[in-house]
Structure 1
């Protein structure tokens, strides 16, 4: 039995940092609850408000071990801020997250998954198709990034940033998915929509029958509607407190 170092940062960091830590830890537990985790791989990162520092999971911890206190605070170059921190981070995961946070200062949170469904759809030439209401939200702000091997090449960062642009949803070819959000709740809702869209598309394709595609005019007009339904106070932040309560009931230690 390998014991994790015991850390308690409550009351030892700013109120803004602690709130970010609690919400980010909750998001890691939601990954477990939705089956989006991948052993110790993939990442969720969040910028501490009014700061250039990011929080990310410690490399080697399963997502149900992530707590508010054991999240690692780093700068944009991947340097761990606290010299006494007993954890390190995953360089491959940091390449992706540093790239998107560097390019998107207005967004607080980035989520990255390797689910079967997102990898499958990302590996199709035409990618995500307009087959469901869930796909409408994603297609309103979708981008793609071609596979370049393990994400440890610093030169890939610029291409990743250019491909992401202003999109909130990205399918990483042969790899998985990425979503961005102005809050942790918004980024989570974006990923929920994208995963569901990929699941529905695979189920429709599995029938072998001709699908009904949503008309392009509807796709083009959905962005304003999506911004109302799934962002800000009427979207991610409306659903997010309920998600936090779900985590509290199932994993009361997440906020330690």
Structure 2
């Protein structure tokens, strides 16, 4: 009942739907092992409110996130609801920067997965040595580690290094992906994570085979032909949410 009151009296239907989708995404990340204690972040802009976005409550594990306990803040860090949970400064500084300056960055995910951090810490970063890595050749930005991201002045360099790309490996740090929709950000992270996992496994066995540039060009040209309908990542994301629902559907609350 409390959730219904919160939904009806304090937010639009569009915001509630965005909250549910984002809460589901947190549960999917937890299910797939992409969580990191109470740290890391996935954010989405609030529909019809360009200066507001939703972020996880600092102190909760991804598996505890619900639609109703997500925190609504503006791009200056002001809390826009009476949520009792704080917001992690490291998450706000980085995500607010991109939400502020990039109109197409509707959804942003940042993680410290073992594979993502390992490849981000490797000289040369992601290598063109497997199917998923071939998706990303020429499309990944890199940013050198400057310590925990809590200083606004780092933002200028983050934007400069990102350029026109929407996927970044933060060196010695982890994965950062952006999407025009949350499912698109999800599938970008899924694909990059798989690329990093396979690279780790391959390099542990010996010298990897490198995919020739001309083959990568054909692969990137044709990869959309193997995509499911509904928009980038939609079918993939929906399938993962169905799996989450079998475990715990409380994200909907």
- Both structures adopt the same fold (TM-score exceeding 0.5): yes
| TM-score, normalised via structure 2 length | 0.92
Give 1:164's aligned residue. 162
d(CA) in 2 for partners of 1:19, 1:169: 25
* CA pair 50-133 structure 1, distance change in 2 beyond 3 A: same
Contact kept in structure 2, 1:186 and 1:232, CA below 8 Å: no
Contact kept in structure 2, 1:229 and 1:235, CA below 8 Å: no
SS of the aligned residue for 1:35 comes to coil
SS of the aligned residue for 2:175 comes to strand
| TM-score, normalised via structure 1 length | 0.91
d(CA) in 2 for partners of 1:104, 1:139: 22
Give 1:151's aligned residue. 149
Q: Shift of the alpha carbon at 1:158?
A: 1.1
More helix by share: 2
* CA pair 242-67 structure 1, distance change in 2 beyond 3 A: same
d(CA) in 2 for partners of 1:224, 1:14: 40
Give 2:135's aligned residue. 137
Contact kept in structure 1, 2:98 and 2:105, CA below 8 Å: no
SS of the aligned residue for 2:152 comes to coil
The gaps in structure 2 that reach 5 residues or longer are: none
From 36, 42, 45, the equivalent of 1:44 is: 42
Q: Shift of the alpha carbon at 1:246?
A: 1.7
d(CA) in 2 for partners of 1:98, 1:232: 31
The gaps in structure 1 that reach 5 residues or longer are: 1-5
* CA pair 168-137 structure 1, distance change in 2 beyond 3 A: farther
d(CA) in 2 for partners of 1:239, 1:184: 11
Give 1:80's aligned residue. 79
